[in-house]
Amino acid sequence: MSQLSNFIDVDKPLFDLSTFSGRFEYYAWMTDPRTVILSSDRLLQAKAMIENYRQGKQSPQVMPEEVHYNMKLYSSAFHPDTGELQNFCGRMSFQVPGGMLITGGMLAFYRTVPAVVLWQFINQSFNAVVNYTNRNANSPTSVTQLGVAYVSATTSALIAAIGCKNYWSKKASPLFQRFVPFAAVAAANFVNIPLMRQNEILNGIEVKNEDGEVVGQSRLASVKGIGQVVVSRILMAAPGMLVLPLIMERLEKLPAYRRIKWINAPFQTLMVGCFLCFMVPSACALFPQQCSLDTSTMRTFEPELYKEMESKTGGLVPKKVYFNKGL
């Protein structure tokens, strides 16, 4: 390629994020699980190179392919607001392998209460890390709030899982009992994400105009963003946790499959991975990362914050404000 890195704006998306297909390409590119094995030193090197690109210090002999690869590493491992290196479990590149192992375990070991408790505990621990890591970082959360969110989400997941299991074991068919893990995951998402990001709901998040200038705070923006994240997370898990049980119900009746007892958990884990490779970018792409909110809605439902915005903008309130919804 003839273009060199000094013609590349590293802050400009490589894909059209205004369309679903463009966002799908972007998240498929960013959540590439092959990058999860890279060391922290390599990721910090990518960050340093990106910062050098921004400042025009990088050698112009670096080819675009290397620039794009470093952009990919930076996007998948660093928080978009703070620039901090995310912990291993919270990185976007770990969403497929991490979700694959945990969901596979939940689907394979759902028949006993101890197994349900163990896998829901593991799943909610993982979710708590992901939700905290991918929060809107402009709304800090205390250790106490994190603890309450974690305990509440784990409790809700266990109540949903054990309650459904006990009820469905008496009232429903064995096939229906396979959907216990999904019921628990859906219930926990409705609790975990809002509680983990409760400061955003209580105090609002920063909203910006089209030029990226902060013009005020909005609680409605946080509610809208968190609601979209909850829907995305449930849809992300749905195909694997709803379709795979139907497949397993048929497979487990085949004599050839029943003879190879050890294959059950590895097979389900692998199948979940196949679903997630498609569903992680699809669910993340469902809504734009930069959401918008009509200020007329703010004027109706949060007039005090609207007045603050009027004061901050000298009465020139934009028709729409924009914010990062988180992931």
* Rounded Cα distance, 157 and 23, in Å: 30
Alpha-carbon distances of 169 from 111, 157, 207, 307, rounded to whole Å: 10, 18, 48, 55
7-11, 12-16, 299-303: least confident range: 7-11
Which helix (DSSP H) or strand (DSSP E) does residue 228 occupy? helix 219-251
What pLDDT, in 10s, does the model give residues 94-126? 888 888 888 888 877 877 778 888 888 888 788
Return the pLDDT at 124.
78
| 273, 217 Cβ separation under 8 angstroms | no
Tens digit of each residue's pLDDT (9 = 90 or more) over 224-267: 999 999 999 899 988 888 888 888 888 888 888 888 878 888 88
Task: List, in sequence order, every residue forming a beta bridge with 104; answer none if it has no partner.
Answer: none
pLDDT in tens, 178-190: 787 788 778 877 8
Q: How far apart are CA 268 and CA 280, in angstroms?
A: 17
Give pLDDT tens digits for 52-96: 777 765 555 556 777 788 888 888 888 776 777 777 777 778 888
**What predicted TM-score, i.e. pTM, was given to this entire model?**
0.80
pLDDT reported for residue 223: 93
Which has the closest alpha carbon to 23: 292, 280, 323, 322?
Answer: 280
